[in-house]
Amino acid sequence: MNIEIKKSVKPVNYFDAIDFMEQRLQKIFDNNEQELIWTLEHKEIYTAGTSYNKNEIIDKSIKITETNRGGKITYHGPGQLICYFVIDLRKKKDIRKFITCIEKTIIETLRNFDLETFSDKDNIGIWYKENEAINKVAAIGIKVKKWIAYHGFAININNDLDKYKKIIPCGIKDRGVTNLISIKNIDYSKLENLLIENFISNLKI
């Protein structure tokens, strides 16, 4: 596979990121550019996918940015590792398999830190169970256009969890949101590279 790996150190503007991915998508469709895996962080922003409901906004004073990705409302901000991608699915044409690849990548990566997480066919994302509480630790939202997948997923590392109190995250009322530091307060500096390695490996399967 011929995939460009892009890592942004400084926070990237959300709209600039979407514009960049959409331009790359067209170039890939025209066979003029590599596929892309891009890790980054956003400044604070609430984004709403194509299936969100306004009733999922608890604090009506917050600004919601509507997007063309799938899913509902979520929050992005400092302390969250975002992995965007532009991946060509024209040969495989299997969206479910691609989502499973993403889920497997996150689960395997977190297992390197002795964290056991899981996916849920009824509630997209990656979850962590502690006692009786089930909380989301990673959100997934993708769009497929011309059989090329883009947007991505976000892993909560040490972000501000209070921001999620202003919305019903991903439209799921009976589960919460957590981050890695809250689960296990250790060094996660190697997570980004491990995530990229696992993603590339799983894409080859």
pLDDT in tens, the chain (205 residues): 789 999 999 999 999 999 999 999 999 999 999 999 999 999 999 999 999 999 999 999 999 999 989 889 999 999 999 999 999 999 989 999 999 999 999 999 999 999 999 999 999 999 999 988 999 999 999 999 999 999 999 999 999 999 999 999 988 888 999 999 999 999 999 999 999 999 999 998 7
Rounded to the nearest 5°, which phi and psi values hold at 99?
A: -65, -40
The string of DSSP codes covering 49-92 is -TT--GGGBSSTTS-EEE-SSSS-EEEE-TTEEEEEEEEE-TTT
Side chain identity at residue 135, one-letter code: N
Residues labelled as active-site residues: 170
Q: What is the torsion angle, in degrees rounded to the nearest 10, for the CA atoms of residue 44, residue 52, residue 96 and residue 34?
A: -40
Measured between alpha carbons, how far is 26 from 16 in angstroms, rounded to an integer? Answer: 16
pTM here is 0.95
Compute how many other C-beta atoms are within 10 angstroms of the C-beta atom of residue 2: 7
What domains lie within the chain, and their CATH numbers?
3-203 (3.30.930.10)
